[in-house]
Structure 1
Amino acid sequence: MFGIARSSIRVRAVLALAAVTVVTAVTGCGALGSVTPKASSSGSGLEKVTLKVSILPTTDLAPFWLAQDSGYFEAEGLTVESVIAASGQASLTKAISGDVDIAFSTYPPFFTAKSTGAADMELVADATSVNAKSNAIVTVPNSPVKTIFDLAGKKIAITAKNTASDLLTRSVMQDHNVDYGKVNWVLIALPNIAAALQQGQADAAYLPEPYITQAAKTAGAIPIVDINTGATQDFPLTGYGATKKWVRENPKTLAAFQRAMQRATHDATNDRAKVEPLLVRFAKIDEDTAKLLTLPGYGSIIDARRLQRVPDLLLQLGAIPSPIDVNSMIGPQAGR
């Protein structure tokens, strides 16, 4: 009787061991821990697996390039194609027309589009804010401008009216009681501003990095005031947006894009060594400049209270006719 019992126990033990072996084979769990399955690249569950994003080749895009280069988009099931735009406004236009899904831009065009009724855009991810020495008004040694107090009545180069370059320059001048109404604004593309300063086409200019460092090397440009002061300290600078229609139709795809960008932004913020090679490859910056330049403040999740500063400044400077509540323009945020 005891022999029969022992035999039954042995049979049950063998069956149990077999069951454990089957479970282990199926789940990939072993005695030393577990093997995490790789994220599917099939995009299962996403409304669309290929995204087109319009961008500008600036230092602000480092987390985006990092997400592409490190496979963070792929891990979320996305294939992301970048489309170069000539300006933030041009980038926004591509999203409005449906040529791209998501647009990168400085923030003012998103709010001016809202104020004029040109498009119903939603902001879907933060990108950068002003950092100390990352944006400045600069001059050159042979210019009549030596300090910010010399700017009234002079020629100042900006990229376009009602852009970040225009608004931030006027705000800083206002902080120093300099009359920007007397300025002769000269519209020049960022890559051409250093040469314009050298040739006397402009007496001073608004420049972000990497153009500050490049202009210092090629034209001896000297910052006369840091934008990261007064009313524009830590000012929200750039972000990503999409049409409200696209956001409503692609919630899972948007969340996947946001998760990849959040991961890449964390890496870019905490490890400059990951950023510099990407600037050389994608922003076409030489290695010395990539090492010397001041990076902007990177962000990914939108903070409504902080971002409200942008339309408030636009209203104060007369760039939009009426107040805009940022909360009405913020799309769903993954992780919140």
Structure 2
Amino acid sequence: MARSSNNRLRTRRVALALAAAVAASGCGALGAEVSNSSSSGRDLEKHTLKVSILPTTDLGPFWLAQEGGYFQAEGLTVESVIANSGQASLTKAISGEADIAFSTYPPFFIARSSGSADMQLVADATSVNPKSNAIVTVPNSPVKTIFDLAGKKIAITAKNTASDLLTRSVMQDHNVDFGKVKWVLVALPNIAAALQQGQADAAYLPEPYITQAAQTVGATPVIDINTGATQDFPLTGYGATRKWVRENPKSLAAFQRALQKATHETLIDRAKVEPLLVRFAKIDEDTAKLLTLPGYGSILDARRLQRVPDLLLQLGAIPSPIDVNSMIGPQAGR
């Protein structure tokens, strides 16, 4: 009996010792994740990354990665640098004020085409979803259908931006002449007021501005952007200069892994991102629950992204073709 008891005691001690060794080496499922993250964190070229962003719903996974500790688990501290537009965001990365820039895709390709910057795309962010982007109008406008847009005043944020290119593409799909349109350049937060005051007859709007404009000025969609040549169109992503990508491969991979995990979590559970939209995109809780989220993504697909420079070329925004493969940087997990 005593021998049996001693055997059980020795067995228990061995089991405890093995468990301790497994925990210390990080061989368990959770332990491996923590151990690998902390190890890669020590090897990073940069532990603090500055990312220039815009306060839009497209940043849901990014904010989840920040607030949920996903960047921290990879050994990163990620700081946001607010920009007023995609072009301004890109400029911050080119100047070195930011390491990585978030933007709609056109500025990245236009910069490459003009030779103003050698940018690489490092992560996807969003694509057009049904009802997430639309051309809208208000009750007192002469515009009732897409066929009324010819020769009218249409509000966009700037020329050769997503708002401009996607509006022209949708009109072209429906054989509506955009050549005589008067393009009214208005910042997104002011477009609803411009419609109400008659400064514009229609406008391109993404969420959450579609929902907000519906609530404040009775805006209604003329046509959903998620149709024809712009269905599921790649909308936003992250980029960095080729020099920065070359000099910081481990830091970039850590950023990508955290963003991939946060994007996956966002797609599984929308409730995780809604409070972050209220906090960072400055929208109210009701709007956060009602709005249509964009199509979130994180892995870059060259074939899908090729649609962007092809549309830029077709509409005359760039003078010659661009091969997307030449602009995609290394991606963690691939």
Task: Please classify the TM superposition score into its range, dividing by the shorter chain length.
Answer: over 0.9
Q: 1:245, CA displacement in angstroms? A: 0.2
How many Å separate the matches in 2 of 1:304 and 1:34?
A: 33
Indicate the RMSD between aligned Cα atoms, in angstroms. Answer: 2.1
Alignment partners' CA distance in 1, 2:54 and 2:208: 13
What does residue 147 of structure 2 align with? 149
Correspondence for 1:99: 97
Q: Distance in 2 between matches of 1:163 and 1:34?
A: 45
The superposition leaves residues 197-218 of structure 1 with CA deviations (integer Å, 9 ceiling, x where unpaired) of 0000000000000000000000
Q: Does 1:36 find its partner at 2:31?
A: yes
The Cα offsets for residues 150-173 of structure 1, whole Å up to 9 and x where unpaired, read as 111110000000000000000000
User: 1:321/1:224 Cα in 2 relative to 1: closer, same or farther (>3 Å)?
Assistant: same
Q: 1:124 aligns to what? A: 122
User: Equivalent of 2:240, from 235, 239, 242?
Assistant: 242
Q: Distance in 2 between matches of 1:135 and 1:104?
A: 18
Q: Report 1:115-264 matches (<5 A).
A: 115-264=113-262
Report SS of the residue matched to 2:80.
strand
Moved more, 232-241 or 17-26: 17-26
Distance (Å, rounded) in 2 between the aligned partners of 1:18 and 1:291: 53
Q: SS where residue 28 of structure 1 aligns?
A: helix
CA contact (8 A) 1:28 1:35 kept: no
The one of 40, 50, 53 equivalent to 2:51 is 53
Distance 2:30 2:177 in 1: 65
Letter of the 1:36 counterpart: G
* Alignment CA distance shift 1:242-1:182 (3 Å): same
**Contact 1:154–1:203 (8 Å) recurs in 2:** yes
Within the candidate set 63, 80, 83, 1:82 is matched to: 80
Q: How many residues end up aligned between the 2 structures?
A: 324
TM-score, normalised to structure 2's length?
0.93
Structure number with bigger Rg = 1
Amino acid in structure 1 at the alignment position of 2:298: S
Give 3-state SS (helix, strand or coil) of 1:331's partner: coil
2:42 match: secondary structure: coil
Gaps of 5+ in 1: 1-12
Q: Name the aligned partner's letter for residue 159 of structure 2.
A: K
Instruction: Give the corresponding residue for 1:6.
Output: none
CA deviations on 1:173-231 (whole Å, 9 max, x unpaired) are 00000000010000000000000000000000000000000000000001010000000
1:86 alignment partner AA: N
Deviation at 1:28, TM superposition (A): 3.0
1:319 deviates by 0.1
Q: How does 1:297-308 map to 2 (within 5 A)?
A: 297-308=295-306
Give SS of 1:181's match: coil
Separation (CA, whole Å) in 1 of partners of 2:20 and 2:65: 33
Alignment pair present for 1:111 and 2:109: yes
- In the alignment, the residues of structure 2 paired with residue 105 and residue 161 of structure 1 have an alpha-carbon distance, to the nearest angstrom, of 15
- SS in structure 2 of the partner of residue 241 of structure 1: strand
- Between the aligned partners of 2:75 and 2:207, the Cα distance in structure 1 is 33
Hey, what does 1:10 align to over in structure 2?
Answer: none
* Deviation for aligned residue 1:36: 1.7
Which residue, 272, 276, 289 being the options, matches 1:278?
276
Q: What secondary structure is seen at the aligned counterpart in 2 of 1:180?
A: coil
Following TM superposition, by how much is the alpha carbon of 1:25 offset from its aligned partner in structure 2, in angstroms? 3.5
